Amino acid sequence: MLESNRRHWLKQIGLSVAGIGLSNLDAISAPTDLLAKDSANNLPIRLSSNENPYGPSPLARAAMTENINISNRYNWQLSTDLIQAVSKKNNISTNNILLGAGSTEILDLVTRLSSTKKGSFLIADPSYSYWTEAAEKLGLKKITVPLTKSKQLDLDAMLKAIQSDTRLIYICNPNNPTGSIADRIELVKFINEASKKAIVLIDEAYIDYTNQESLSAIAIENKNLIIAKTFSKIYGLAGARIGYAIANSKTIEQLSELKSWASGSISVASTAAALAALNDEKFVLEALSLNKNARQFTIENLKKLNLVCIPSNTNFIYFSLNNFKKDFFEQLKNNNIIGTKIYEEQGRWTRITVGTMEEMQKFISAIQ
Ligand SMILES: Cc1ncc(COP(=O)(O)O)c(C=O)c1O
């Protein structure tokens, strides 16, 4: 690439603003070297936490490295830049956004906001429930609503389960651990009803793996709707800890009041990484395509083993161990693979993260 073109390109992707020089960019190698390092060090194959095995993207890695040099300064400017970039990406205003250290921080803040009055919260079962222990500690009673037989969210049953004291209704869409996705029209109908009674929190951690439109546009109008988003999945930045909330500006204000420094919990290096990642469309498209291929390969082979899989809209697969005659977790352990224990139906189901094709080939060999 001609130097002038490269400068233009760097400007476009926002790295010139973040101070990335051309020489640094030359030094960046593809993320595949990270994968090679894992395998050379005989590290376990991690198929347990739905991380993106291809990230961080080269641009995000460059931005992180470069911004270590200004980590003596607080993150005023870059966090403002990131809020602006996120608002542009989602076509919303900057006062509809609150940054957090991963979407975990957003989930925690929404929980705190909901628990200012005692009452209950609603969650499907199984769903992503890491945050629920904290909600219970804060005095909210947990109400669970089973999924349908085909492992879909049962929105009708969830509506019926709302109590007069329900403060928070959590929907993970697509749902973790099942990978299933709710019909958007049904979900909007549900939100219209449910948000009259309580705060509805939609966790869109995996929406980027689907073609479904985010609910962000609806959230900015509805004071009782909050969307949680993350850079941990398709952007490959789980360890950098960056997420954000999208909501009505008044709701963002309420969430911000629960923090001493709103949008202040992300490091300079991580913020720079997120800014660069937002512009690395090539990486996102590649990660999506590689995930799709490895997922298809895995599902086909699980089916050949006579194991029932729930159709996946994500970077993980939920399947039944009913027809698996050996000890699944022992097989994984013997092959240095980490999977996920699920306790639904006495552990008859499990979830596996979709890693690289090579990792999934090893996974299938391990359980054959
Ligand atoms: C559905 C869901 N929400 C939230 C999170 C938390 O992600 P993070 O805090 O890294 O954004 C995860 C992590 O796996 C998840 O699966």
Burial of 163 (0-12, 13-18, 19+ CB in 10 A): middle
Query: What's the confidence (pLDDT) of residue 24?
Result: 34
The alpha helices in 76-227, defined as continuous H runs, are: 76-90, 102-114, 132-137, 155-161, 184-194, 216-219
- In three-state secondary structure terms, 88 is helix
CA of 51 to the centre of ligand 1 (A): 10
- Specify the pLDDT at position 34: 58
Q: What is the rounded CA–CA span in Å between residue 155 and residue 153?
A: 6
- Which run of H or E residues covers position 202? strand 199-203
How far does the centroid of ligand 1 lie from the alpha carbon of residue 104, in Å? 6
Q: How far apart are CA 230 and CA 196, in angstroms?
A: 26
pTM, two decimal places? 0.90
- Is the distance from the beta carbon of residue 54 to the nearest atom of ligand 1 less than 6 Å? no
CA distances for 125 relative to 10, 71, 122, 176, angstroms: 46, 42, 10, 10
**Closest by CA position to 99, among listed 309, 272, 288, 242:** 242
Tell me the pLDDT band of 18, cut-offs 50, 70 and 90.
Answer: very low
- Ligand 1 midpoint to CA 108 (Å): 12
pLDDT digits (tens, 9 = 90+) for 134-157: 999 999 999 999 999 999 999 999
Q: Whose CA is nearest to atom 6 of ligand 1?
A: 104
**Does ligand 1 come within 6 angstroms of the Cβ of 194?**
no
Spell out the domain ranges in the chain.
76-278
Residue 165 vs residue 41, higher pLDDT: 165
Distance from the Cα of residue 75 to its chain's centroid = 23
Q: Does 176 sit in the ligand 1 pocket, CB within 6 Å?
A: yes
Residue 359 confidence (pLDDT): 97
Q: What is the mean pLDDT of residues 271-283?
A: 96
For residue 22, the CA-to-ligand 1 centroid distance in Å is 34
Binding site membership of 135 for ligand 1 (Cβ less than 6 Å)? no
For residues 222 and 99, give the distance between their C-alpha atoms in angstroms, rounded to a whole number: 19
Bridge partners, 338 (sequence order): 46
Q: Is the pLDDT of residue 17 over 60?
A: no
Q: Residue 363 CB: number of other CB atoms within 10 A?
A: 26
| Whole-number pLDDT of residue 346 | 79
**Residue 263 CB–ligand 1 contact under 6 Å:** no
CA of 9 to the centre of ligand 1 (A): 32
pLDDT in tens, 264-275: 999 999 999 999
Flag whether pLDDT at 26 surpasses 80: no
pLDDT of residue 6: 40
| C-alpha 105 – ligand 1 centre gap (Å) | 10
Rounded to the nearest whole angstrom, what is the distance from the C-alpha of residue 272 to the centroid of ligand 1? 20
pLDDT at 40: 65
Q: In terms of residues, how long is the chain?
A: 368
- pLDDT of res. 57: 92
Kindly give the number of the ligand 1 atom that is closest to the alpha carbon of 175: 1
Mutate-to-test residue for ligand 1 from 130, 246, 266, 354, highest number of ligand atoms within 8 A of CB: 130
Ligand 1 lined by 315 (C-beta under 6 Å)? no
What tokens does 72 get? Answer: 């003596």
Of the candidate ranges 36-45, 50-59, 97-106, 235-244, the one whose mean pLDDT is the lowest: 36-45
pLDDT score at 23: 34
Residue 172 has pLDDT above 60, yes or no: yes
Using a 6 Å cutoff on CB, does residue 50 contact ligand 1?
yes
Distance between CA 144 and CA 129 in Å, rounded? 10
Q: Which atom of ligand 1 is nearest to the CA of 230?
A: 11
Pocket test for ligand 1, best of 176, 201, 242 (most atoms within 8 A of CB): 176
The H-or-E segment that residue 5 falls in is helix 3-12
Confidence label for 344 from pLDDT (cuts 50, 70 and 90): confident
Q: Decide: 169 in ligand 1 pocket, CB within 6 A.
A: no
Is residue 27 scored above 50 in pLDDT? no
Q: Is 230 in the pocket of ligand 1 (CB under 6 A)?
A: yes
Rounded Cα gap, residues 135 and 322, in angstroms: 33
Identify the band that residue 32 occupies on the pLDDT scale cut at 50, 70 and 90.
low
Q: Which CATH architecture has domain 76-278?
A: 3-Layer(aba) Sandwich (3.40)
pLDDT band of 36, cuts 50, 70, 90: low
Give the residue with greater pLDDT, 19 vs 234: 234
Which two tokens mark 89? 């990406």
